[in-house]
């Protein structure tokens, strides 16, 4: 399935000197990026080092935590719903050309009744979305972690990865009260 889109058209201009007093434009073929699918590499609970945070207005907490040194330690799709638990996926984009950067959308579908952020006037969320970039052929990580008690919600949590609106990957976790 070709869900890619052209990302760049490159042209080359070369001067021909005083005789023509102009520029000759030699078109170079447009490079088309094609994203075929996303392959799940691993999933489950993980440990990681927090390295910073950014603004994520379409997230229940309003922020996106950046992490490094991600280590998956429990691949089970059943995850305890408690403070401090982190869960997520590592995946690789398949397509062409290798190394091309594309924009993806991560969507977490939350179980009913959703979440209400007490710090943002109890704004209600049934999903959390965030755009990010990834390179074709390289592994990427996406996850969710419970940093506040109001986020801890048992039920089915599903992460979806999309490119240009097309669903590339969907993976669910069942969170339970321990």
pLDDT by residue for the chain (178 residues), tens digit each? 333 322 222 222 233 344 334 444 444 455 799 999 999 999 999 999 999 999 999 999 999 999 999 999 999 999 999 999 999 999 999 999 999 999 999 999 999 999 998 988 889 999 999 999 999 999 999 999 999 999 999 999 999 999 999 999 999 999 999 9
Look up the CATH number of the domain holding residue 106: 2.60.40.2390
CB-CB contact of 46 with 73 (8 Å): yes
**CA–CA distance, 37 with 92 (Å, rounded to integer):** 8
Asked whether residue 119 is assigned to any structural domain, the reply reads yes
Residues of the domain holding 96: 37-176
Asked whether residue 96 is assigned to any structural domain, the reply reads yes
Asked whether residue 147 is assigned to any structural domain, the reply reads yes
Asked whether residue 144 is assigned to any structural domain, the reply reads yes
Closest CA to 105 of 153, 42, 51, 159: 159
**pTM above 0.85?**
no
Domain count, the chain: 1
């Amino acid at each position: 399935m070709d869900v890619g889109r052209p990302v760049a058209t490159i042209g080359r201009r070369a001067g021909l000197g005083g005789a023509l007093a102009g520029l000759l434009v030699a078109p170079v073929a447009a490079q088309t990026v094609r994203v075929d699918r996303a392959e799940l590499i691993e999933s489950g609970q993980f440990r990681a080092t927090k390295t910073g945070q950014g603004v994520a207005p379409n997230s229940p907490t309003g922020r996106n935590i950046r992490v490094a040194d991600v280590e998956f330690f429990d691949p089970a799709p059943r995850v305890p719903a408690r403070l401090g638990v982190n869960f997520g996926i590592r995946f690789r984009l398949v397509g062409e050309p290798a190394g091309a950067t594309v924009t993806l959308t991560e969507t977490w579908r939350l179980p009913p009744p959703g979440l209400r952020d007490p710090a943002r006037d109890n704004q209600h969320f049934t999903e959390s979305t965030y755009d990010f970039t990834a390179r074709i052929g390289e592994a990427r990580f996406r996850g969710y972690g419970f940093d506040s008690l109001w986020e801890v919600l048992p039920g089915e949590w599903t992460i979806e990865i999309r490119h240009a609106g097309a669903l590339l990957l969907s993976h669910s976790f069942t969170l339970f009260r321990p």
